[in-house]
Structure 1
């Protein structure tokens, strides 16, 4: 698995991950130099981790962190790694509560709103729940898809579990009875890469896809309310490719209802405003960066933190100034956190972005019709040539052409 870099922010706690490590620090003020660093390669390895379901030895994982998230209050933090482990932390103060084994490598995870469970989605299409209150408890299978899951979220009231898969579907299931499906949100033409329930408008869902669109839904009814083609926001003289516009992150700030969209493979973040009364998205601005952007996160004070592939300036802080987002250079907290990252740059060295694996999810297309028509034309030509040979006069035994008598017909007729 690729070394994936990521950024998480909840309240005043910021987490940066890279490879098998993450570091957590406070952004409350520049004087607070508290730093917590964790390395998954030192985590507990249980005996059963070394054997698969058939009892045969499994391929050893790289311990790289695949996904991570905070609970709503920020009291808990969880991650899954390439060695098929779910690791749960308490954050105040930082303490590892448990290391549990998951069945398969996970692609996404989320806490329930009550913070009683962690839901993990895996590559086989299953969602398992793990107790937070009983940190050593085993996982429970909640629901399954026939294709790979790429994201999982819960509604703010914990009534619904929403899942996004590779087969262009968003499924809305009841939390209390996951086999009961409330609706499907259908409309994407490629895999659904990210989904996000808007916290202050809990009936609304944002989604992104390999088809290069950002869509707004009333997810309980499955009704699409609005969509924006991100490729249309690119400069006309730049070659367009939908694959470059797969969104790897959707982040939201309640102040001004601001949505930031990070697209894979390009150093650009798109800013939208959610117009909830009109149920539509309004494009506002494009932020361009000198280096590749790995991840983004909003702070409660309407500041956008940007993690980029540059050791000298690993973090960029953007804030709105007279309606336009601009980078801020003179910020003591930014300098403090950037200093931490420079000293621990080894964990980010050679990192990929949070959505780098998306390029392999596009389904191959084959133009069978062109091949079929070509072969059909060849067969018709061969048949025509045979008919022409049969119609042409054939030479007799003495070398003279045999003439057809009256009433005789050639074999080709």
Structure 2
């Protein structure tokens, strides 16, 4: 029996009431002001089983362009006026994070190999990444990446608890490290109302604030107690503890929503006196895959369950009218759905089956590092 593929990633346009929802190798677009679909699932699309899906999506500064990348190792740039594809670039490895520069002339992409590349969008000439040198490289998998608004620094997090602040585009010049996490760092974002501060989260159950250019820690908020009652059933030692999977900011009300892999709860943190404080917990009906605040401070949540999407208003009351159409629309059907929670595999092989440990060790052994001359 085939099942509906959930929306694995969601991202909201910074200037328009449009939410993009990744669904297999397609994406849908929803008007968040009225819940109506702008771009629907292709009527002739029928892929089973699903092997390609979006790993990351990002808008440019004015929301006119959307960058996506998936399992097919392609970076695609879409025109949000008509959702036509404008450009494609090949990636050497699968991309974990992608972002436009401030003038949208380049795309910066971090891959699971641990490297960061920049891709020019000034022309359509394909780039051979086998010959291209990376902007910077980690000896560990890069899990997330963000550029500062002035494009002077690129900030990267990795599997080995590190956050690195490097000069852009000369990434070999390291400005500082933000060190303090005790488990994999999964999410990093600049604080929208003070972009000199970085917010990070990961597998150690903490939200941390950093002075970006000094690398000093400004706050550590431990939220393990708040999420304890909503932790998922552990499949192995790597999933015994909750792991932060996504962050989303409500700029208007200075709130931060924190989602955890395989958990049905979202923590809401309020920003008061230059610090985040726990405010409340939203408990949903099924595990959460991704979250995004819209421009009207509604919180959109994608689920791994019968209901694909739920919406909560500023008072964090559920608003079914906005999600009704998207929950009843056609989406990808598949007899076999890929692993939705690979994020747990970022932890350090805590009592994993021997065959998986050996496989990862062999992959690391054979990994070829690219270095500058």
Same fold (TM > 0.5): yes
- With structure 2 as the length reference, what TM-score do the two structures score? 0.81
Change (3 A) 1:306 1:4: closer
Superposition pairs of residues 153-232 of structure 1, within 5 angstroms: 153-232=146-225
8 Å Cα contact 1:244-1:263 kept in structure 2:
no
Structure 1 stretches of 5 or more lacking a match?
A: 43-60, 367-413
- Distance in 2 (CA, whole Å) between partners of 1:348 and 1:274 is 44
Report the counterpart of residue 310 of structure 2 in structure 1: 316
Change (3 A) 1:12 1:236: closer
8 Å Cα contact 1:4-1:351 kept in structure 2:
no
- Pick one of 12, 27, 46 that aligns with 1:9: 12
**Is the counterpart of residue 327 in structure 1 residue 330 in structure 2?**
no
8 Å Cα contact 2:25-2:52 kept in structure 1:
yes
8 Å Cα contact 1:72-1:113 kept in structure 2:
yes
- Distance in 2 (CA, whole Å) between partners of 1:240 and 1:267 is 12
SS in 2 for 1:226: strand
| Structure 1 segments (4+ residues) deviating >3 Å | 36-39, 234-244, 347-353
Structure 1 residue 177 displacement after superposition: 2.1
Q: Which structure dedicates a bigger proportion of its chain to helix?
A: 1
Deviates more, 1:143-152 or 1:72-81: 72-81
Report the counterpart of residue 142 of structure 1 in structure 2: 135
Change (3 A) 1:68 1:349: farther
8 Å Cα contact 1:244-1:265 kept in structure 2:
no
Deviates more, 1:168-177 or 1:242-251: 242-251
SS in 2 for 1:327: coil
Structure 1 residue 283 displacement after superposition: 0.6
Report the counterpart of residue 114 of structure 2 in structure 1: 125
Structure 1 residue 337 displacement after superposition: 2.8
- Distance in 2 (CA, whole Å) between partners of 1:79 and 1:238 is 30
Report the counterpart of residue 267 of structure 2 in structure 1: 270
Change (3 A) 1:346 1:215: same
Count of matched residue positions in the alignment of Structure 1 and Structure 2: 333
- Distance in 1 (CA, whole Å) between partners of 2:334 and 2:58 is 19
- Distance in 1 (CA, whole Å) between partners of 2:203 and 2:42 is 33
SS in 2 for 1:338: helix
- Distance in 2 (CA, whole Å) between partners of 1:135 and 1:13 is 27
8 Å Cα contact 2:166-2:174 kept in structure 1:
yes
- Distance in 2 (CA, whole Å) between partners of 1:33 and 1:240 is 35
Structure 1 residue 347 displacement after superposition: 6.7
Please say which structure displays the higher CA radius of gyration. 1
8 Å Cα contact 1:5-1:352 kept in structure 2:
no
Report the counterpart of residue 113 of structure 1 in structure 2: 102
Structure 1 residue 123 displacement after superposition: 1.4
Change (3 A) 1:5 1:291: same
Q: Name which structure has the greater RCO, CA cutoff 8 Å, separation 6+.
A: 2
Superposition pairs of residues 5-404 of structure 1, within 5 angstroms: 5-10=8-13, 11-29=16-34, 33-37=37-41, 62-138=51-127, 140=132, 141-234=134-227, 243-275=240-272, 278-311=273-306, 313-321=307-315, 325-329=316-320, 331=321, 333-340=322-329, 343-346=330-333, 350=337, 352-353=339-340, 356-364=341-349
The two structures, once aligned, show a CA RMSD in angstroms of 2.8
Structure 1 residue 76 displacement after superposition: 0.8
- Distance in 2 (CA, whole Å) between partners of 1:287 and 1:114 is 37
SS in 2 for 1:256: coil
8 Å Cα contact 2:6-2:308 kept in structure 1:
no
